[in-house]
Amino acid sequence: MSIVSGILRIAEDEARAAEARVINSIELEIGQLAGIEIESLNFCFDVARRDTMAAEAALVIHDIPGLGFCPTCAKNVPVEFHLAVCGECDEALVDVFQGRELRVKSINVD
């Protein structure tokens, strides 16, 4: 719930700064390694948005896959865990550089 509260706070602050009356949609980017349960996030959003500028807003979520760089084979490889062995060479722990994101990408307001 605290994550959703933060998202709504960001959206409402930006909407007020744009002198908007209502938030139509909030678009998020959430990495597969961010530790966010999407179903729970959606449930909390439905509850928390009541009596806010986002009371009728749609929540749009873009899933960001986990990616890492393998120093042994010098390739970017998909990862499913924070500590991952390269799927190409099975030699090195990869340096994860994508998939931990949790960011508000855009807000549609009127």
Residue 59 tokens read as 């929540």
- Tell me the CATH number at 15: 3.30.2320.50
Residue 76 lies in a domain: no
Residue 70 tokens read as 């393998």
The parent domain of residue 11 ranges over: 2-65+99-109
pLDDT of residue 93: 82
Residue with tokens 């090195």: 92
Residue 61 lies in a domain: yes
pLDDT of residue 88: 85
Please count the structural domains in the chain. 1
In this prediction, residue 110 has a pLDDT band, given cuts at 50, 70 and 90, of very high
Residue 85 lies in a domain: no
**Could you give the angle at the alpha carbon of 93 between the alpha carbons of 30 and 36, nearest 5°?**
20
> pLDDT (tens digit, 9 = 90+) per residue, 83-99?
888 888 887 788 999 99
> pLDDT (tens digit, 9 = 90+) per residue, 10-65?
999 999 999 999 999 999 999 999 999 999 999 999 999 999 999 999 999 999 99
